[in-house]
Each structure stands twice: as structure tokens, then as C-alpha cells.
Structure 1
Amino acid sequence: MTMPLDAHDDLSDEDLLDAFAGGDRAAARTLTLRLTPRVLAHAARLLGNRAEAEEVAQEAMLRLWRQAPRWRAGEARVTTWLYRVVANLCIDRKRRARGGTVALDDVPEPPDPAPDAPALMQTRTRAAALQAALAELPARQRHAVVLRHIEGCTNPEIAGIMNTTVEAVESLTTRGRRALATALSARKEELGYVDD
């Protein structure tokens, strides 16, 4: 038996669901128009994404229609049951998004941590220029500078390695750095060291 649409306006959600279970399509339409906006708004608040919320609302309403023949009046309100279904669907969706499967096309390309070709070329050019400038230093200066600034040794460690004093190491590294700066300053632009 199907009643006119306006005849359903005064019925409760539970009565409308019961009428739908009995074959009343107008009751389903009235209940859909009444509940879908609330279900959609609830899903959107939980997910923060309108498109996903629409999918959840649609699935929740489909579950309600499948539940209609087994609905037991008085156990729960339709809206209470429906909000619980929406919450569970949203939780499942968020779990899948965190650790579930995602379509390959939806996965962004990971950034490549390796430098690009121009950066690699510049790094090699800088390393070659440094090596050439180091080769021009006196042996003790070169040794002190390499140990301090490339190997990361402390001045006391270098003094022990070179069998000299800390003061001598400080002097060697200072003079070595000055000589390197002078040797490389003419190639600043070529090596990509341009002052802003």
C-alpha cells in the first residue's frame, strides 16, 4: 500500500522504515529526503572531505534499506543506528587510507632524494677544484686542513697525529684556509658560489 507523500510527513523515522519494509516506496523517498542531508553532514564532519562523505552517506542509506525487513521497532531509533553506521564507515575509510590499499594512480610520485644531474656536475666540479687547490698547499698545511675540515678531527687530535702542538695546528689550518680561499676566489662564479 502506498500513501501520498504528504501523508508521510507526520510519521516517525521508525514508522517510515516499517512502511518501506511493507512495500511503501513513498515512505522510502520521504525517509531518504529527511535523513540523507543529516547523514551527509555527519560524514562530512567526520571525514573532512565532501566527496568521500557522499560515498559514505550513500552506503549508509543502502544499509538502512537492506536492514528494513529485519528492523525491530523499539530497539533503537533509526537516526541512532544510522549515525553509528556512518561513524563505522568513516573509521573504516580512514583506516584504509592510513594503511590499506590505494590505487597506484592515486599514489604521488615520491621525491627523489638524489641530486639532479646539474647538481651532481656542480658537486664534482667543486670537489675537483678543491682537490686541485689542496694539491697546491704545502704538505703540512694540506694535511692539517684535510684532517680538520674534511675528516672532522679536533685540533688536539690533529696535533697528536701530526706530532706537533695545538698552536701549530691552528696556525697550519688558518694559513691553509687562507691559501685555499685565495686559490678558489677566482673560480667563485664558476663553482656556483655567488654572493646574493
Structure 2
Amino acid sequence: MALDAYEGASDEALLVLYGNGDPAAAQLLTHRLAPRALGYATRLLGGDRAEAEDVTQEAMLRLWKQAASWRSGEAQVSTWLYRVVSNLCTDRLRKRRTVDLDAAGEPEDGKPSVVENMMDVDRATALQGALNRLPERQRVAVTLRHIEGATNPEIAQIMDISIEAVESLTARGKRALAKDLAERREELGYGED
């Protein structure tokens, strides 16, 4: 069946269709979820894209294994996937115990000027460095909320904590990031505004 036929289908519906043997549903769900999972994993792993790709692949494999037995209504597919990615990244971070701050990605070729690209890289590197210095739970909460755009209830479900705990973690994380980056505002091209 053509992918266009499934465009309006929910993630859960696509997963159930795949569980019933429809590979087109899996293809569309992969196109929807894998880039988000990869971006999230990359940020949690300090910019290590190769390792993030491994995590994303493992998380998607786990999702496909769940397809046939997926229990509708228990969790959103994306929430389940973010949780798996979080857990896989946590496992990898615990194993390596060091973070490579130089692993921030290179800017993609595009329309911005060389100076703008350099500024974007400096900002991304500074943010990634500041994120890396946060305690793990704060880093996860801040990344999910302010970079991935997840809601507090979704984050609470992903992290298996209360909404109040999410609010506390994100507030403390934002304050720590602001303090960490405050002295670099001018260097990073942010005025006093």
C-alpha cells in the first residue's frame, strides 16, 4: 500500500498495522520517529552522532519487536520511544563516564554566511557543553522540554517521575544553564537585551 494512504494515521495505528504485517506502516513510522529519536540521542550523548545512530537503531528495533504485542492506549508510541532512547543513552554514558566536548556536530552546508555558521557552531557547542555539565536528570528534562518540545506530562511519563518533579528539574536546569552561559553572552553574540 502507498505511504500516502497512511499520512493521517496515528503513530499507534501505524505500529499496530506493522504488527499485523504491513511494512509500509513501519516505513512511515520510521520516517516520523527516527529523526526525532536521533536528535534527542545526539544531544543526550554530548553530540556523538555515531553513538546516537546506534542508540536510535536499537530503540527502533525494540519498537518493532513490540509491534505485535503493542497494548493500545497504555502509552504513546513516541513517549515509549523517548523513554527507551533515554535509558539506552544513560547506559552508554555510565559505561564511558567521560564526555567529549569536541564532538559537537559541524554545521550543514546552507545559506547562512560563514560567520553565521561559525556563530551557530559556537552557540551549539556552548549549549552542549553547558548541558553536559548539568546533572543527568536535569539534562534529560531540559532537553526533552526545551529542545524536543515535549510537554511536562510526557516528560513525567518518559522519566517515570511526577509532573512537579519535572517542573523542578527543568527550572533548576534552566537556572544552571543561564548561570553557566552568562559570562559568554557577548562572545556568543547575544546583546544585553
**TM-score, structure 1 normalization:** 0.48
Bigger CA radius of gyration: 1
Q: Which structure has more RCO (C-alpha within 8 Å, separation ≥ 6)?
A: 2
Normalised TM-score (structure 2): 0.49
